[in-house]
A = this chain, B = another copy of it.
Amino acid sequence: MDKQTINQLQKIVGPDQLTTTTEELLCYSYDGTAREYLPEAVAFPGSTAEVSAIMRLASQVLLPVVVRGAGSGMTGGALPLKGGLVMAMSRMHKIIEIDTDNHVAVVEPGVITGQFQDEVRRLGLYYPPDPASLKFCTLGGNIAECAGGPSAVKYGVTRDYVLGLEAVLPDGRIINTGVRTAKGVVGYDLTRLLTGSEGTLAIITKIILKLLPMPTNRATFLVVSNSIKQATALVSRILSQHTPCTLEYMDRTALKIVESELPFALPPAAESLLIIEVDGNQETVTSQAKNLHIFLKNEPDLLSVRQAQDEAERAALWSARRAISPSAFKLKPHKISEDVVVPRSKIAELVTFTETLAAEQQTTIFTFGHAGDGNIHVNIMLDKNNSEELARGLIAKKKLFTQVLNLGGTLSGEHGIGITKSEYLAMELDENSLELMKGLKNLFDPLNILNPGKIFPPDQTSQKNI
């Protein structure tokens, strides 16, 4: 990046809001994938007008721009693969409006998801999407990736809560998509096209979100089983008769990793834990909990069925659940972490497959995740510096993807493609769809300056690379 461009960027955001020092650049060079790419500069725009001005400049000088929320993404969406400018949205963190009459909120992209949930909860409202990183990830990042979380089994994913967006196109033009009402079908659905587009089509500068009334009550059940197949086979049967707001599972290895943080002792034969929650008002939760308890008690061969006694026990449990991913590094210094989805009736089959795969590739593979919607986090543990281990890990990854697709599943439920899955994209998408998607990228970003190198495998794109 030349001096003139840096000067112009400084003029746009102010001298304090642009950095090029190596120490600071390093802070914006990594994300949840633990890969690193150093940007040439980081800008902290404070308004849509500044974002627009940056993109007009970037278009003129063909500067690659990568937007960054909290950098908690799992597939490299926020990594400046081609160097250039990282646009950090941390200053655009205002909750602009919470409309309690209409259950709508308007926010800037840098708002922390968990803080937003706390704010709306104080007003009796509920924003369901709850990725494990909710204490630090941002709403803008959640929308870029279409984040999910445990609540998705009942409440759906981020996509289901985005009513409208303000966004800046790669050439600096501003668009307003969608509505601030529950319904709206005017023109093509740009709102959902941008949601999950991994920061490659436009820069989200304002978000209109749908809210729900806050469920006042909740009951949490912990089901320990000595068979992962038995546990996962329960999932479809639970969902045919009950409507839990969470249906998570952990396998034995996941349990071991966080055992010391669990608020109760595990029976020695524990092979799997299911976490099942129901929510609603006091009466409906009492009724649902009663029915669920009867159902679970009638299941033969479960090691234990326990109801969380209080909010502290529940909080401890969830804290342990959210710690699985970071705590996995106790096993090995690196992991290949996938968020595949299979039809939930196929979870047991997938889990069996990963066990065989682990034995075959002489590696540790553990699984946990959102059993209710078949979204399984598969973790292949390895030391990347051991090239043979890495090679076996990559073979396991490819075989896993093949099996997932054979089972009628998809390569990603909530993390997106980014760079970690781009070379596998054509395993799932047909050639015509892929070509259309490249056409979409080219329509929005003909100069390929916005988050270049993401989603599409490098050798397959016909776009101009910078």
Question: Hey, which chain B residues are within 8 Å of A181, CB to CB?
Answer: 341-343, 373-375, 408-410, 413
A466 within 8 A of B: no
A175/B433 in contact, CB under 8 A: yes
A103 sits at the interface (CB 8 A): yes
**Binary interface encoding of chain A residues 103-136 relative to chain B, with 1 for a CB under 8 A from any of its CBs, else 0:** 1100000000000000000001000000000000
Tell me the residues in window 379-410 of chain A with beta carbons closer than 8 Å to chain B beta carbons.
Answer: 408-410
Of listed A152, A175, A182, residue having the most chain B CB within 10 A: A182
Q: Please indicate the chain B residues that have their CB under 8 angstroms from the CB of A48 in the complex.
A: none
Task: List chain B residues, Cβ under 8 A from A99.
Answer: 343, 345
A386: min CB distance to chain B, Å: 30
| The one of B152, B185, B370, B432 that contacts A146, using a Cβ cutoff of 8 Å | B185
Provide the residues of chain B in CB contact with A265, threshold 8 Å. none
Q: Is the CB of A182 within 8 A of B375?
A: yes
In the assembled complex, the Cα of A372 lies from the Cα of B187 at a distance in Å of 23
Q: Chain B's nearest CB lies how many Å from the CB of A40?
A: 28
- Which residue of B175, B201, B240, B373 contacts A432 across the interface (Cβ within 8 Å)? B175
A67 sits at the interface (CB 8 A): no
The CA of A42 and the CA of B283, in the complex, are separated in Å by: 56
User: Are A197's CB and B186's CB within 8 A?
Assistant: no
Residue of B nearest to A168 (CB): B432
Q: A175-B430, A213-B241 are in contact. Are A102 and B344 (CB under 8 A)?
A: yes
Interface residues of A in 420-466 (CB under 8 A from B): 421, 425, 428-430, 432-434, 436-437, 439-441, 443-444, 455
Which one of A187, A195, A341 has the highest number of Cβ atoms from chain B below 10 Å of its Cβ? A187
Question: Are B417 and A186 closer than 8 Å at their CB atoms?
Answer: yes
A177 within 8 A of B: yes
Q: Which residues of B contact A443 (CB under 8 A)?
A: 436, 439-440, 443
- Judge if A26 is at the interface, Cβ distance under 8 Å: no
Q: In the docked arrangement, what's the CA distance between A444 and B370, Å?
A: 36
Report how far A239 CA is from B291 CA in the complex, Å.
27
A153-161, A310-318, A324-332 - interface stretch: A153-161
Contact B184 A430 (CB under 8 A): no
The reply on A364 being an interface residue by CB < 8 A is no
Distance (Å) between the CB of A432 and the closest chain B CB? 5
Mark each residue of chain A from 156 to 195: 1 if its CB lies under 8 Å from any CB of chain B, else 0: 1101100000000100011111011111111111101101
Q: Does any Cβ of B come within 8 Å of A287's Cβ?
A: yes
Q: For the complex, give the distance between the alpha carbons of A157 and B433 in Å.
A: 25
| Interface size counted on chain A using CB atoms at 8 A | 89
Is A185 within 8 A of B236, CB to CB? no
Chain B, Cβ-Cβ closest to A242? B213
Interface contact A413-B213, CB-CB below 8 Å:
no
B410-A184 in contact (CB<8A): yes
Report if A243 contacts B (CB, 8 A): yes
Q: Does A411 contact B (CB under 8 A)?
A: yes
Q: Look across to chain B and name the residue whose beta carbon is closest to the beta carbon of A428.
A: B186
Give A413 to B186 CA distance when docked, in angstroms: 8
On whether the beta carbons of B414 and A183 are closer than 8 Å, the reply is yes
Select from chain B the residue with minimum beta-carbon distance to A160. Answer: B160
Chain B residue at minimal CB-CB distance from A163: B410
**A196 and B190 contact, CB distance less than 8 A:** no
B-side contacts of A177, CB under 8 Å: 433
The 8 A CB mask of A79-107 against B (1 = contact, 0 = none) is 00000000000000000000111111000
Give chain B nearest CB distance to A77 CB in angstroms: 11
Residues of B within 8 A of A124 (CB): 240
Beyond the given A102-B344, A182-B375, please list 12 additional residue pairs across the A-B interface where CB-CB is below 8 A: A104-B343, A174-B430, A175-B433, A182-B373, A182-B413, A183-B375, A183-B410, A188-B193, A284-B284, A284-B287, A436-B444, A440-B440
> Which 9 residue pairs of A and B lie closest in terms of their CB atoms, listed nearest first?
A182-B373, A183-B413, A192-B192, A101-B345, A283-B287, A102-B343, A184-B410, A181-B341, A179-B410
Could you pull out 20 A-B pairs where Cβ atoms are within 8 angstroms?
A102-B345, A160-B160, A175-B433, A181-B409, A182-B341, A182-B413, A184-B412, A186-B412, A187-B425, A187-B434, A188-B201, A188-B437, A189-B193, A189-B195, A193-B193, A213-B241, A213-B243, A283-B283, A284-B284, A287-B287
